[in-house]
Amino acid sequence: MVSAYDIVDKAAKTGKVDKGVNEVTKAIERGVAKLVIVATDVDPKELTQHLPILAKEKGIKFVEVDSKEKLGISVGINRPTAAVAILEAGEAKLDSLK
């Protein structure tokens, strides 16, 4: 079983990703996101609560992970990030997620 963190890591290295709530929101609205990953430990929750709704409206796969710190590391930055959108998977296998 491949974790969402592994997929983000591989996509960040070999494909194209957007990070941060604003960038991810724009990627969803434009319909260019293939997969949206959101950390559940974001506070306040209002920062990210619109993302699953938008993703569902656009038919984009949505996954939650437990840690914004781990999400930031997996996308290749030294800061926590609340959300990541994979635009181009590169070598990442998006369908290997449950």
Residue-wise pLDDT for 21-49, tens only, equals 999 999 999 999 999 999 999 999 999 99
- Whether 57 has a pLDDT exceeding 90, the answer reads yes
Question: What's the pLDDT score for residue 98?
Answer: 60
Are 20 and 47 in contact by the 8 Å Cβ rule? The answer is no
Q: Which of 34, 40, 29, 28 is nearest to 15 (CA)?
A: 34
Q: Which H or E run includes 17?
A: strand 16-19
pTM over 0.85: yes
> What is the architecture, at CATH level 2, of domain 4-90?
2-Layer Sandwich (3.30)
